[in-house]
């Protein structure tokens, strides 16, 4: 067991290390330049085309029986993306990297917007259609069909197929069990059984039902957390300028820390911020394109714009609210080891500002919904990965769904630490074949982008 942990820690250090993080951000920088920085230059148009479309009746109800509407697709993707990393992960990054980590989280999100946009454009362009007319796709399909490198597509599917049980299930089930025990004293086993039943009801219904549930669950949980986060900021509005100043000062802190080399604090802040940003919004990892490929959108660029919106909501809004709560509360005066977990530190931050114990309750409820939505989103990612590997065998699909549902109970009653660590590594490794595919097919994305915006 110890040897396995040691090997995983070594690989994890590479996967989430400086070289990979620079490759992820570097891909985003390259695509930003070649696509004309549309995430900034066309941001108003993108908001009108995505969020604005929800208020146009002709666009809001353009679904069909087999496929998702654009909003259901982005809701499913956000369900898998917005998770415990938005709270616990961001809090841990600030404790380790200081306030400057928030700035580098924003940087990773800015370039991550175009990376996720490119993934979705390719996923829609190279997606497949089954005998019922249902759309499906993802990195494994655009890697195989677009580059001809099937072995690379198989590698991605294998990594995603195993990661879904850990990052997308066990880790989330553990958080839900902890939240339910804290909120109402429900034993983890009972939570696991209830969670398994709820997951089965949704997952067995297929992507259409997942999309329908996500389209209600994601807006509710996002608004709930955003309202709490805004309340925190308003209650400490006088301290906001100082908090923002600490973010920008810490981002470029070139001092030595603990007798270390000159600029060590700068490197720690950069690595923590970029790593947590990427982990939170999953730009470049290849997960979200699987949900977007199931939309009924005909134009790849139009669905790709939802990816830009997705990263904006996930990191620029939700992660920033968590960051501000931590910075405004004063919890950074304490050592992280004085808290039971990163999530407990975030709860302490909200409790320090909101009246009574409201803050802790808000965090527990948010963690519960964030984790539940992640399970639903990743159930579809796992289904698509194993579907690719088994040539969409109905028997294999049924076995996967049963296994995924039962793993909810395993995650609820156990700590899942080893599975979490291994799956965290597998999740990061998904970026390797995906980034290769993105770079090889970047010309396709660039041409599609130029053609679309020349006509709009």
DSSP string, 43-83: HHHHHHHTGGGGG-HHHHT---SSSB-HHHHHHHHHHHHSS
Q: What is the per-residue pLDDT across 156-182, written as a single tens digit (0 to 9) for each? A: 999 999 888 888 888 888 878 888 887
How many angstroms separate the CA atoms of 30 and 18, rounded?
18
**47 has pLDDT over 90:** yes
Those residues with Cβ within 8 angstroms of residue 380's Cβ, 6 or more apart along the chain or in another chain: 76, 80, 203, 207, 210, 290, 291, 294
**CATH number of the domain bearing residue 253:** 1.20.1740
Are 102 and 396 a contacting pair, CB within 8 Å? no
**Count of residues in the chain:** 456
Average pLDDT over every residue of 394-417: 87
Closest CA relative to residue 427, chosen from 4, 1, 3, 20: 20
How many separate domains does the chain show? 1
Report the pLDDT value the prediction gives residue 259, as an integer from 0 to 100. 45
Structural domain including 353 reads: 2-454
Six token digits for residue 338: 């004085």
Vertex 84 angle, CA 82 and 398, to 5°: 70
Local confidence band at 58 (pLDDT 50, 70, 90 cut-offs) = low
Q: What is the per-residue pLDDT across 210-229, written as a single tens digit (0 to 9) for each? A: 888 888 888 899 899 999 99
Mean pLDDT of the chain: 87
Report the pLDDT value the prediction gives residue 60, as an integer from 0 to 100. 47
**323 has pLDDT over 90:** yes
């Amino acid at each position: 067991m110890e040897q396995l942990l040691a090997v995983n820690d070594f690989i994890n250090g590479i996967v989430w290390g400086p070289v990979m993080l620079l490759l992820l951000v570097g891909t985003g920088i390259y695509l930003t330049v070649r696509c004309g920085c549309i995430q900034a230059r066309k941001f108003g148009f993108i908001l009108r085309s995505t969020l604005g479309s929800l208020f146009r009746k002709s666009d809001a109800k353009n679904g069909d029986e087999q496929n998702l509407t654009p909003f259901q697709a982005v809701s499913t993707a956000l369900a898998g993306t917005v998770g415990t990393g938005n709270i616990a992960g961001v809090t841990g990054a600030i404790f380790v990297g200081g306030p400057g980590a928030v700035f580098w989280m924003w940087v990773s999100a800015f370039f991550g917007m175009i990376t996720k946009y490119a993934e979705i454009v390719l996923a829609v362009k190279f997606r497949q259609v089954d005998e019922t007319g249902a759309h499906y796709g993802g990195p494994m399909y655009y890697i195989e069909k677009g580059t001809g490198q099937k072995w690379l597509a198989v590698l991605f599917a294998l990594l995603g197929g195993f990661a879904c049980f850990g990052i997308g299930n066990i880790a989330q089930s553990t958080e839900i069990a902890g939240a339910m025990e804290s909120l109402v004293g429900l034993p983890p086993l009972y939570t696991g059984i209830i969670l398994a039943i709820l997951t089965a009801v949704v997952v067995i219904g297929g992507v259409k039902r997942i999309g329908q549930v996500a389209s209600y669950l994601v807006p509710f949980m996002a608004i709930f957390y955003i309202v709490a986060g805004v309340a925190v900021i308003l209650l400490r509005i006088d301290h906001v300028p100082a908090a923002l100043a600490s973010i920008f000062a810490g981002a470029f802190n070139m001092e030595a820390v603990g007798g270390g080399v000159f600029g060590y604090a700068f490197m720690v802040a950069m690595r923590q911020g970029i790593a947590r940003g990427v982990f939170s919004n999953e730009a470049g990892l290849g997960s979200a394109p699987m949900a977007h490929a199931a939309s009924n959108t005909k134009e790849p660029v139009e669905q790709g714009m939802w990816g830009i919106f997705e990263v904006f909501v996930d990191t620029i809004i939700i992660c920033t609210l968590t960051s501000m709560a931590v910075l405004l509360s004063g919890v950074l005066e304490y050592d992280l080891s004085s808290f039971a977990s990163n999530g407990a530190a975030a709860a302490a931050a909200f409790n320090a500002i909101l009246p009574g114990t409201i803050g802790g309750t808000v965090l527990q409820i948010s963690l519960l919904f964030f984790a539940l939505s992640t399970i639903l989103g990743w159930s579809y990612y796992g289904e698509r990965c194993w579907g690719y590997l088994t040539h969409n065998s109905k028997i294999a699909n049924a076995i996967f769904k049963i296994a995924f549902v039962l793993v909810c109970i395993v995650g609820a009653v156990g700590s899942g630490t080893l599975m979490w660590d291994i799956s965290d590594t597998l999740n990061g490794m998904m970026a390797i074949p995906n980034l290769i595919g993105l770079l090889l097919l970047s010309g396709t994305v660039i041409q599609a982008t130029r053609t679309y915006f020349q006509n709009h």
